[in-house]
Chains A and B, each alone.
Chain A
Amino acid sequence: MKFWNSRQERLQEEIQSHIELETEENLRSGMSPEDARRAAQKRFGNALLAIERSREIWGVLWLEHLLQDLRFALRSLRKSPGYAAAVILTLALGFGSVATILAIVDSVLLRPVAIPHPDQLVLLYIADRTGVRGELTESEIQDLQRESRLFAAVAGFDTSVKPVGTSSGTRWANVVEVTPGFFHMLDVRAAIGSLPDANATAPVALISHDFWQERLGSDRHVIGSLIHLDGEARTVIGVLPRGVSVLSGTGGPFVYTPLTLSSQQAGMTPSGAFVMARIRTGVSIPQALAEARSIFAHSSPQDVTAHRDLAMDTYTGYLTGSLRKPLLVMLGGVLILLLIAFANAANLQIARAMERMTEMHVRSALGASFGRLLQQLLMESVVISLLSGALGCALACVSTSIIRTAYGTQYSRFREIAVHPIVFGAISLLALVTGILASLAPALSIRRGRRAAAAAPFATPRMRISGILVMLQIALSCVLLATAGLFARTFRALEQIPLGFDPHDLTNLVLMPVDSKESPILILQTNARLLERFQSLPGVESAALQSSAPFSVYPPVLTCWTDVSGRPFRKGDSAIYSFVSSDFVRASGIHLLHGRAFTTQDETSPNMVALVNQAFVNEFLPGRNPLGISVRFHREPQPPRPSGLPLDILGILEPEPDVPLKPSFSIVGVIQNELQRSDLGAPFEPMIYLDYQQIPKDSTLLGIMLPVSPFVIRSSLPPVVLDQELRTVLKQVASDMAEMQLATMEDKIAQALGERNLALRLVSSFGAMALLLAAVGIYGMLAYAVTLRRREIGIRMTLGSSRSGVTGLILAQAGWLIFAGVVPGLAAALVAGHAVRSFLFGVQPLDPASLAAAVALLLLAGMVAAVFPAWRAARVDPMEVLRTE
């Protein structure tokens, strides 16, 4: 600046001395001093212009113009605070929403997981028809490790949730057993201590950062301390860095113990594990999958009967998969909202530009080029946009912290939501683009205005651009409102799903033995004692065990191929097996449709009995009386045996011969379909219920099902009191069992609905904001129309139109606007509904109710918005209008 100024000063001096030289010459030729000076100046011409053109050549002029425009823009905004506030708030609403969703998408989907190159990590598993993931066998894993060239590393893992004892008590923790190369594959190092040695035989454990913090109090001397797992003490040898929690992506208490495949206990399933692998750089997912499949195919040739399909998931896809689509839909919705806000802002700017038309004319007359006027409009528009962007970002910071506190406990990934610099950058860019685009509309109006003013100075100027913008707003609002309607109906439908059991006054308690190697017989006895004590508690109506209790995620799901007598076995005939105690029907409140429930006599009876659900009857026994039919686990004939065996010789899928059970059980009752797990809206699967007590005490089935003991307790006591009572009984009778979960069914249902609830709330708030913005847009346009048409209205009234006629005119304009907007809006709403159909339940994308509601709301909003301008139109005084001509 200093340099530039001095350059200009020098030029001024130079010009000064030039004029003085000329003056002196004139003096010498005899002119009077004044004449000499005047003549010299005249001869020179316009000194200021010379300086300005020189400065133009220097190239600093554009910067000065920019600053000039900036100062002017700020000043004129300050002079019309109403207009400024309207535009800034409108746009801030749009930008704020976009920033919020961008922050969520960025935090949840895009932020890297704290592992190097997570895009190279994949999960391998066996895909089965019900979507349950199966483990790979030891030999398959070893084959993959040995023969694969496209994988840099292959490791096996097994997850479970178990009670882990520390100095602060025994609580549940995620336990991940991993093969030796696991951490090497992940390429992470221990933050404290070291990773397990591949050949270590001593029982060791590696813990996650959160475990160290929460359960061990961030003890600096944690290395070498002991934790208790599965009845044995393990030495902690290392703590992982913060944020590294494999298989959950975020935090949580994790304990990692070494897994050697062949050392797994002999159980119903052959020793195996899930697989995580790292693909080499440059190899694509399909290539890796193809190689893995080919190795897999010749790895286990003997298993021809089993459908073992190898499937692969990316690790990041697994972590975020269920969230990706909903978040992208939200992003779409919020961008629509931004468009609506943008249309409002553009309209406001057009109106304002029209008002400043005289000013523009004067500027033009004074010499401003169209480009210069445009530049000024642009500057004002960009200033507004950037201010709105800043305000929007502030709003986003507030809203993300609200979401974080409200939903952070429910969805662990939501805890990380924060507005990172990249969001600020994106919003600034968006604001800049918006500002530039928004100034085009008024610029075009001005250009047309200049010409039109010359052509027809008194005709009402056409409002085509404004009209189009308002129609766009209405159409987009229609889309958001209709989609919100669809979501609302989905939510209502989910709330009203018949659960099959009575969720009121029902509490779910899940226990696990502290020592997971505890004998199933002991557990059975403990459970029987607990049931007795629970049932005798005052205020408790009934208590039962139910392995398939809805909303308890801990118990394993047992799906087995099933033989139904009188019906040939078809591959894929399977049912879910649930193990219950005798009082289960009464406690859970499930409806008995035919026959009877279990009784205590069944426990000691040699005839095994079973209950089945309605879905089972529908699938396997249509048209037959289910009572008395005998059912059993299906066993495949073993290949080495000679052929020609009678069909009732049982052989099973699994190599172990004693399980599942040999004997068949007869159906004694049919009960209503019950909700499975936590998936509201999933179709009901066929289920068979067996009484725990009827299972032979030496069966390995018990060993699989029993360690997790899910109780359902029906009681009208307030939950706090009941919880206290239950815990007291636990301490007295079953101190070797740890509490994994204690919650009421109603809480669980609310939690399950919670996700949909969040989506509904977000979409509804978009819809509401859209409606508000559209109403404001309609109001603005009509108010502006009335202003423009004052003369026309005055003339109409003079020619005989009544006040109500004029009102009708304005209302008709509003109605026409809405109609023209709603028609494309409905079409777009159908498209949007189709796009989100995977989120809907119980309602079709083409839902007349939602569409009608959206149209009705828009009409209502439009009419409300039109009231004031119509009233103002009616109050136009024709005399006054004509007088001002």
Chain B
Amino acid sequence: MSTQKKDNPLGLLQGTLDLLILQTLLFGRAHGHAIARSIELRSEEVLRVGHGSLYPALQRLLKLKLIATDDGISENNRKARFYRLTEKGRKALSAETSKWQRLSEAIARILTPAAPETH
């Protein structure tokens, strides 16, 4: 039975996770564990990804053909599945990134206290 749709207030919003994954893969191919680690490290542990929610997101991106898979050997000589960005993914990433930046700038402008009055 499927669960009721409840937002996980502590988790990342769906769309943002996708974006972060794509961004991570911009630097080259990686397997699932490495992606999760990378996100945590680069956000300086501010963003903790529930590793479990990573995989559905990866499947979604695969379905949308923004990423593709290869099989390879991981660092510790295990068989692992590597993900890489596709051309379509690259384009989507730059589009989404600029949208995100505009959004965050707009929010920042609203949230920043007004410049102190000079007179």
| A contact residues vs B (CB 8 Å cutoff) | 10-11, 14-15, 17-18, 20-22, 24, 43-47, 49-54, 56-58, 61, 65, 363, 366-369, 372
A372 touches B32 (CB 8 A): no
CA–CA, A11 to B62, complex, Å?
13
A369-B2 in contact given A14-B32, A17-B78, A24-B76 (Cβ < 8 Å): yes
* Identity of the chain B residue whose Cβ is nearest the Cβ of A22 in the assembled complex: B33
A54 touches B59 (CB 8 A): yes
B50 touches A45 (CB 8 A): yes
A44-B56 in contact given A17-B80, A368-B1 (Cβ < 8 Å): no
A18 touches B51 (CB 8 A): yes
CB-contacts of B52-77 with A (<8 A): 52-56, 59-60, 63, 74, 76
A43-B51 in contact given A52-B2, A57-B56, A57-B63 (Cβ < 8 Å): yes
A57 touches B32 (CB 8 A): no
- Tell me, rounded to whole Å, the shortest Cβ–Cβ distance linking B15 to chain A: 14
- Which of A14, A24, A369, A372 is within 8 Å of B55, CB to CB? A14
Interface residues of A: mostly helix, strand, loop or mixed? helix
CA–CA, A54 to B58, complex, Å?
9
Contacts across chains A and B counted by CB atoms under 8 Å: 73
Mask: chain B, 19-61; 1 = CB below 8 Å from A; 0 = not = 0000000000001110010000000000000111111100110
CA–CA, A659 to B1, complex, Å?
93
A372 touches B80 (CB 8 A): no
B33 touches A58 (CB 8 A): no
Chain A residues with CB under 8 A of B90? none
Chain A residues with CB under 8 A of B1? 363, 366-368, 372
B4 interface residue (CB < 8 Å to A):
yes
- Tell me, rounded to whole Å, the shortest Cβ–Cβ distance linking B48 to chain A: 9
CA–CA, A52 to B32, complex, Å?
17
CA–CA, A18 to B2, complex, Å?
24
A50-B74 in contact given A372-B1, A372-B2 (Cβ < 8 Å): no
- Which of B33, B56, B79 is within 8 Å of A54, CB to CB? B56
CA–CA, A288 to B31, complex, Å?
80
- Tell me, rounded to whole Å, the shortest Cβ–Cβ distance linking A149 to chain B: 64
B59 touches A58 (CB 8 A): yes
Chain A residues with CB under 8 A of B33? 17-18, 21-22
CA–CA, A10 to B58, complex, Å?
13
B3 interface residue (CB < 8 Å to A):
yes
CA–CA, A43 to B33, complex, Å?
11
CA–CA, A18 to B76, complex, Å?
12
Chain A residues with CB under 8 A of B50? 44-45
- Which of B4, B32, B63 is within 8 Å of A18, CB to CB? B32
A10-B81 in contact given A17-B74, A21-B76, A368-B1 (Cβ < 8 Å): yes
A50-B32 in contact given A14-B81, A45-B50 (Cβ < 8 Å): no
Residue of A10, A45, A51, A58 ringed by the most chain B CB atoms within 10 A: A45
- Which of A20, A43, A57, A65 is within 8 Å of B60, CB to CB? A57
- Which of A10, A21, A65 is within 8 Å of B74, CB to CB? A21
CA–CA, A22 to B32, complex, Å?
11
A11-B74 in contact given A17-B80, A368-B1 (Cβ < 8 Å): no
Chain B residues with CB under 8 A of A17? 33, 74, 78-80
CA–CA, A52 to B78, complex, Å?
25
B52 touches A47 (CB 8 A): yes
* Identity of the chain B residue whose Cβ is nearest the Cβ of A368 in the assembled complex: B1
Show 26 residue pairs from A and B whose CB-CB distance is below 8 angstroms, ordered by the A residue: A11-B59, A14-B32, A17-B74, A17-B80, A18-B32, A18-B51, A21-B33, A21-B78, A22-B33, A22-B51, A44-B52, A45-B50, A45-B51, A52-B2, A53-B53, A54-B55, A54-B56, A54-B59, A56-B56, A61-B2, A65-B2, A363-B1, A367-B1, A368-B1, A372-B1, A372-B2
Chain B residues with CB under 8 A of A15? 32, 55
- Which of A11, A45, A56, A368 is within 8 Å of B53, CB to CB? A45
**Given known contacts A18-B31, A24-B76, A58-B59, what 13 new A-B pairs fall within 8 Å (CB)?**
A14-B32, A15-B32, A17-B33, A17-B79, A21-B74, A45-B53, A46-B52, A50-B53, A53-B56, A54-B55, A54-B59, A61-B2, A367-B1
CA–CA, A465 to B3, complex, Å?
31
Chain B residues with CB under 8 A of A21? 33, 74, 76, 78
A50-B76 in contact given A18-B32, A369-B4 (Cβ < 8 Å): no
Chain A residues with CB under 8 A of B4? 367, 369
Chain B residues with CB under 8 A of A52? 2
B52 touches A45 (CB 8 A): yes
CA–CA, A688 to B73, complex, Å?
113
- Tell me, rounded to whole Å, the shortest Cβ–Cβ distance linking B65 to chain A: 13
Chain A residues with CB under 8 A of B51? 18, 22, 43-45
